[in-house]
Structure formats: structure tokens, C-alpha cells
Structure 1
Amino acid sequence: MFILNTTADHGHPLDPTDANTLGLAAAEGVERHLRHRDNHAETPLIALPGLAGAVGVAAIHVKDEGQRLGLGSFKALGGAYAVIRLVLEEAGARLGRPADIEELHSREIRAIAGTMTFACATDGNHGRSVAQGAQLVGARAAIFVHAGVSDERVAAIARFGAEMIRVAGSYDDSVREAAQTAKERAWTVVSDTSWPGYERIPGLVMQGYTALVREALRQMAEPPTHVFIQAGVGGIAAAVAGYLALTLGEQRPVFTVVDPARAACLFETAKAGHPVTVPHDEPTVMAMLECYEPSLVAWRILSRVADAFMTVDEEDAVAVMRRLANPVDGDPAVIAGESGGVGLAGFLKAAADPAVKAALSIDATSRIFVVNTEGATDPGKYREIVGRSPAEVLSEGVA
């Protein structure tokens, strides 16, 4: 399914709050924060000229977030960043003076962090980031996971010392349970989705994501003409689209949001022109994107600066994992998890449909940008789908 953005807000400037959250000054602050992370390094921007030639476009670039901060996902930029920001803000309030990132490991700051507990719901990757952030500062983390989160992903979060709480039902059920429990116990919720009255912290999470698009623009010889970004609740799509709109202005690329067909909350929201909750269907293999309600902040941004919305099917997600693991014409292999290659899957589906291709003005001069949002965060599932382990794929090099 594919639709152009025909909402009344399309093309309008961002809300001033969102512009402040995702603008240049904020993004520079995120990069300053990252310089104080021990294992920080810019993730690679991978060119796929063989695939670009086969599809008939000028370039395809993949920002590989599977290598981000040791967590295997772009989510490493959001949850941990928000936790650290909130600890420093609380320390500033208690100490009566601003607390700087350079003081993060001081005895004073760690003593304050030790009194704080951060809670969130997760499909896997966001919870891992929040748990890592809490461990870094000496705080506690309580992570709520729904029935569909694999034991392997739960274990990957628990290794950061987080308390793991299983919730019956879906991701959205775990969001509600986390919010209710946190309210009862005076914990701080660090969610990557937002709801009425709860916007600032999800905004900080999205602010962390600006680092990946800022890096990508530096790494490209020319900015992209088209961007395809996958969406769960919409956080990364909104962060990338918002930052590009603010920094590139009239030269911003055509931006398409890609949803799983089985959890297409943003597609249906765009279709309706207002936030909607979609009914639960069969689980999707795109587990990190299995969300049935959009983030209100993300929708506020995307309604203005996303140009189109589309869905991909289960077989599209699986096919792109295998295609990236078995590259063509000398392209490097890319390890993409079940949700990692969905933006690329959306582009390939759009390029293969003459009507969609024309609607998005994709041609031989187009420069495509996508984000591999996760590596093999569930190695067992990756091997099951691709037929080889991540190490085996990389050791074999190009096809």
C-alpha cells in the first residue's frame, strides 16, 4: 500500500518545540554527549553501487546502525542519551547549579543517579539502550517486555543489570503497564513513544537519533534526493525527516515512511489524517516495528515533513535481509536484522512499481538514503532467516 501525504499540515514548518528539539544546536549537543561515551565511533555509511545499478538509480547509501555503541541498533542513541540528560538535570536541580556531561562519573552525580529508577517498555532495542544508560550512570532500570519479545533479546537487556518485567499482550500493553507502575513507584519513564501530557522525554530520545543523520550528511558527497525510513511508533522517521527539513530546507529529499503491513499505525494515521490505533493482527517478523499506536510527537512532525507513507509485507522484510547478506556486483555484505532493512525494502518495492516510482519522482539521477536500524540483535532468528550466522556472512565477503 502507498499513499502521498495529503494532510492539511503537509509542507508546513515544524512546531517551534519540535524545531528546537531536532535543530542544529540540539544535534551538536548530542554529538558532544557522544564524545564522552567510551565506545563511541561514527557508524559507517555503506555504498551499494551494484544494487543501485541493478535498480536504475544513481546511488544507494545505507547508514549501518548495527554497529552503534556496542548495542547493535540505532536505539543506542536515544534511550541512553535521554537517561544521561535526565540524570544531569536532576543533579543540577539538587545541587543548585548546572551539571555538565564532564561530571557524569563524579561521586556527586553518581550518588544522585543511584536514587533514580528509569522504566520503559520495549520490543528489545530501546530497553537495551535505557538499561545501558542507567548502568553507565549508576541508576536502576526496570524494563517491561511483552509476550512477543524473545528470550534472547530479554537476556541481552538483563546483562546491563536491569529488572525485567514480563507483560501479557502487545507492545502497547507493555507501554501502559510501564507508565502505570512507574507512576505508582515514582520511577521516571523513558519512552520512545508519546501520549497526551508526555512529550518532552520522547523528544529527548528522538533528539539522540539526530546524530546518525548528521553523520550521514557529512559522509555523503551529495545529500540524498530520496529517503526511506521504517517506522514503529515513528521516532526515528520523525527525527531524520525533521532534521533534514530543518537543515536542508527547500533542498530536503523526498521522504517516505515505511510500515510493516501488519502493524501499519503511521500509514493508517496518514490515511485518516489524525492519529489512529490499528487492530492487532498476526505478529510481524519485523518485531522492532510491531507497534499499533503512533507517537503523537512523531506524527506531529511527520504530518508536516513526510511526503509519502507505504507498507511492506513479511516476505519483503525477509527478502531484503537475504539480499543484503548476499550482495550483487561487488557490493559489501550488510548484516540487517528483521527490522533493519525495512527502509531499503520499501525503496525496492517502490522502484518496482511504475506508479509509485513516478509519484516519488525516482529516476536514474536519484540518490537513495536508508538506515539499517539494527544488526542481528537476535542471532538465532537471523540464522534461521538467512541460513548463516552474521560471522559467516561477513567472513564470506562479497558474493
Structure 2
Amino acid sequence: MILPNQHPDYRRPLYPVDADTLGAAAAEEVERYLTYRDNHAPTPLHMLQALAAGLGVGAIHVKDEGFRLGLGSFKALGGSYAVIRLVLEEAARRLGRPVDVAELHAPEVRAVAAGMTFACATDGNHGRSVAQGAQLVGARAAIFVHAGVSDGRVAAIARFGAKMIRVEGTYDDSVAEAARVAAEAGWTVVSDTSWPGYERIPGLVMQGYTAMVREALRQLPEPPTHVFVQAGVGGVAAAVAAHLALVLGDRRPVFVVVDPARAACIYETARAGRPVKIGHGEPTVMAMLECYEPSLVAWRVLSRVADAFMTVDEEDAVAAMKRLAYPAGNDPAIVAGESGGVGFAALSKAASDPSLKAALGLDAASRILLINTEGATDPARYTELVGISPAEVAARRRGADA
């Protein structure tokens, strides 16, 4: 399904706070922070020429966040960045002077961090980023995971020394429980979703994501005409769409937000014209996107800068994983997790349907940007769905590049 943006705020300017948070100057500062990370390197941008020809579009480029900061997901840019910012701000408050990221490992800053605990709820990737950020600065982390989070993803977070807390129910239940326990314990919640009265920290998380858009624009031969980005609570889609709109202005691409059909909280919010919480149904294979209530900040942004909203089915997501792992022609193989290839799944769906293709203006001149938001963050699940291990896919890519 596809739904054009019909909100009254569509194409209106962003709120000043959102423009400041997600604009060029903010992204430049995020990149400066990244230079102080030991394992930082820009993630690759893959060109899929054979795939573009098969879909009847001019070019397809995939920004591959499976290589981001050793965590295998774009989320590495958000939670850890927010943790670092919050530690530096608290250090500045206590020391009575500005504290720059260059001082992150100074003894007086580490002493401040040692007294802080950062909490969040997660489907897997955001919690890993918060835990890594806390370990990096010498703070503690308490990560809340709901019943659907696999043991493999829990273990991947726990290796950073985080306290793991299981919560019955859905992701939204774990968000509520993290907020409740953190308030009682005096912990700082670093959430990638927002609610009334809690907007600044999710804004910092979204700000972290702008670095990958800035990288992609440098790597692309020309700005994209179309961008498909998947949504959970909407944070990454809002960050990407807002940054592109602010930086490219009238040259901004057509921006399509993509939801799992079984957890389409952004799609249903767009249909209603206001934030709505949807019912919890059958779980989706797109586990990192299984969210039932949108982030208020993300929706505020998307209501202005998203052009259309789509949903994809379970089989679409798995087919996308397989097609990226077994590419056509000389295209590189890409390891995309269950949620990583959802933007590609939507593009495939749209390009294969003449009415959808026409509605989005997709043609032989279209230049598509997609984001592989995660690699195989649960290798066992990836192997089960694709029929080949992520290591074997990576080996095939290395062989093709040799």
C-alpha cells in the first residue's frame, strides 16, 4: 500500500528546533565527535547497476550501515552520541566550564561519568549503542528488552557490561518500564522515541543519524531523486528526510517512509493525520521495526518532509534479504538483516507495480538512495531466513572484489 502525505503541514518549514537539530551544522558537529571514536570509518556506499536495470530505474545506491562502529547498525550513531553529549554537559555543569569531546577521557570527566547510569528500551540495536557509549565514557547502562528480543541480541548488548532487564510484552511496554524504573532510580533515559515532555534526548539520538546522510551525499555522484527509508518509531526516517530537505532545498528527493505491514504505526499515523498507537498483533520478522506508537518528534518532522508512506509484507522483507545476498550481474553482495533491506523491499514493490511506479515518478532517470540500516545483527536468524550465513555472503563479496 502507498499513502501520499496529505497532512496540512506537508511542505511547511520545520520547527526551528528540528531544523537546528538536524541541519548541516549539527551533522558537521556529529562528524567531529566521530573523529574521537577509535573504530570510526565512513560506511560504504554500494552501486547496484544490474539491479537498477532490472527495476527500470537509472541508479540504485545502498548506504551500508552494517559496518558502523563495530555494531552492525546505523543505531551506533545515535545512542552512543547522545550518551557522550550528556556526559560532557553534566561535566560542564559540575566543573563550571565548557567541556569539549577532546576531554572525554580526562580524569575529571571520567569521574563524572562514573556516577551516571543510562537506561533505555530496545529491540536490540539502540540498546547496543547506548551500552557501548556508556562503556566508552566509563558510565553504567541498564537496558530493558521485551519478550520478543532474541537471546543473541541480548548477549550482543550484555558484552558491553550493561545490566539487562527483561520486560513482558512489547517494545512499547519496555519503553514505559524503562522510564518508570529510571525515574525511581535517578537514571538518565536515552530513548530513540519521544513523548510529551521528553524530546531533547531523542532529538540528540536523531542528530547522530545525520552523519550517515552527510557521508552519503559526499559519496554519491549526484543527489538522489528518490529515497526509501524504513521506520520503527520514525526517528531514522525523520532524521534522513529532514537533513536532505534542509541541505538540498528545492532539489530534495521524493522521500518514502516504509513500515512493516504488521507494525505500521507511522503509516497509520499518516492515515489518521495525528499520532496514533496501533494494536499489537502477530510479530513481524522485521524485529527492529516492531513498534506500535510513533515518536512525537519524528512525526512532527515527517508530517512536513515525507512525501509518501508505504507498507511491506513479511515475504517482501525476506525476499529483499535474499536478493541483496544473491545479486544480479556484477553487483556486490550485501548482508542485510531482517530490517536492513526494508527500503529495498519497498522500492522493489513500487517499481514492479505500474500504478505505484507512476505515483512516485519512478523512471529510467531516477536515482535511488537506500539505507541498509543493519547487517546480520542476529547471525543465526539471518542464516535461517536467507539459507546462507552472513560470513559466506561477505566471502562471496570479497571474492567478487578480488
Identity of aligned residues (%): 75
Q: Which residue of structure 2 aligns with residue 24 of structure 1?
A: 24
3-state secondary structure, aligned to 1:355: helix
3-state secondary structure, aligned to 1:292: coil
3-state secondary structure, aligned to 2:70: coil
Q: Which residue of structure 2 aligns with residue 314 of structure 1?
A: 314
Instruction: Give the letter aligned to residue 216 of structure 1.
Output: A
Q: Which residue of structure 1 aligns with residue 253 of structure 2?
A: 253
Q: Which residue of structure 2 aligns with residue 69 of structure 1?
A: 69
Instruction: Give the letter aligned to residue 188 of structure 1.
Output: T
Please give the per-residue CA displacement for 1:81-103, whole angstroms capped at 9, x wherever unaligned.
Answer: 00000000000000000010000
The two structures have a TM-score, normalised by structure 2, of 0.99
RMSD, aligned α-carbons: 0.8
Whole-angstrom CA distance in 1 between matches of 2:330 and 2:3 = 34
Please give the per-residue CA displacement for 1:162-206, whole angstroms capped at 9, x wherever unaligned.
Answer: 000000000000000000000001100000000000000000000
Q: Which residue of structure 2 aligns with residue 157 of structure 1?
A: 157
Whether 1:203 aligns to 2:195 is no
Whole-angstrom CA distance in 2 between matches of 1:225 and 1:158 = 41
State the Cα distance separating 1:352 from its structure 2 match: 1.1
3-state secondary structure, aligned to 1:131: helix
Instruction: Give the letter aligned to residue 207 of structure 2.
Output: Q
Instruction: Give the letter aligned to residue 266 of structure 1.
Output: I
Whether 1:339 aligns to 2:324 is no
Report matched runs for 1:179-198 at 5 Å.
Answer: 179-198=179-198
Q: Which residue of structure 2 aligns with residue 148 of structure 1?
A: 148
Instruction: Give the letter aligned to residue 106 of structure 2.
Output: S
Q: Which residue of structure 2 aligns with residue 290 of structure 1?
A: 290
3-state secondary structure, aligned to 2:291: coil
Whole-angstrom CA distance in 1 between matches of 2:104 and 2:47 = 37
Please give the per-residue CA displacement for 1:189-242, whole angstroms capped at 9, x wherever unaligned.
Answer: 000000000000000000000000100000001000000000000010000000
3-state secondary structure, aligned to 2:69: coil
4+ runs of 1 displaced by more than 6 Å?
none
Whether 1:136 aligns to 2:141 is no
Instruction: Give the letter aligned to residue 349 of structure 1.
Output: K
Instruction: Give the letter aligned to residue 116 of structure 1.
Output: M
Whole-angstrom CA distance in 1 between matches of 2:165 and 2:391 = 31
Whole-angstrom CA distance in 2 between matches of 1:86 and 1:286 = 31
Q: Which runs of 5+ in 2 are unaligned?
A: none
Q: Which runs of 5+ in 1 are unaligned?
A: none
Q: Which residue of structure 2 aligns with residue 114 of structure 1?
A: 114
Q: Which residue of structure 1 aligns with residue 385 of structure 2?
A: 385
Whole-angstrom CA distance in 1 between matches of 2:384 and 2:318 = 11
Whole-angstrom CA distance in 2 between matches of 1:389 and 1:345 = 20
3-state secondary structure, aligned to 1:299: helix
Whole-angstrom CA distance in 1 between matches of 2:344 and 2:13 = 27
Whole-angstrom CA distance in 2 between matches of 1:64 and 1:38 = 19
Please give the per-residue CA displacement for 1:40-89, whole angstroms capped at 9, x wherever unaligned.
Answer: 00000000001000111110000000000000000000000000000000
Instruction: Give the letter aligned to residue 276 of structure 2.
Output: V
3-state secondary structure, aligned to 2:145: strand
Q: Which residue of structure 1 aligns with residue 364 of structure 2?
A: 364
State the Cα distance separating 1:355 from its structure 2 match: 1.2
Q: Which residue of structure 1 aligns with residue 352 of structure 2?
A: 352
Please give the per-residue CA displacement for 1:224-270, whole angstroms capped at 9, x wherever unaligned.
Answer: 00000000000100000000000000110000000000000000000
Whole-angstrom CA distance in 1 between matches of 2:89 and 2:394 = 42
Instruction: Give the letter aligned to residue 122 of structure 2.
Output: T
State the Cα distance separating 1:396 from its structure 2 match: 2.5
The two structures have a TM-score, normalised by structure 1, of 0.99
Whole-angstrom CA distance in 2 between matches of 1:84 and 1:207 = 13
State the Cα distance separating 1:388 from its structure 2 match: 1.1
State the Cα distance separating 1:394 from its structure 2 match: 2.1
Q: Which residue of structure 2 aligns with residue 178 of structure 1?
A: 178
Instruction: Give the letter aligned to residue 101 of structure 2.
Output: I
Instruction: Give the letter aligned to residue 339 of structure 2.
Output: S
Instruction: Give the letter aligned to residue 142 of structure 1.
Output: A
Whole-angstrom CA distance in 1 between matches of 2:363 and 2:57 = 6
Q: Which residue of structure 1 aligns with residue 89 of structure 2?
A: 89
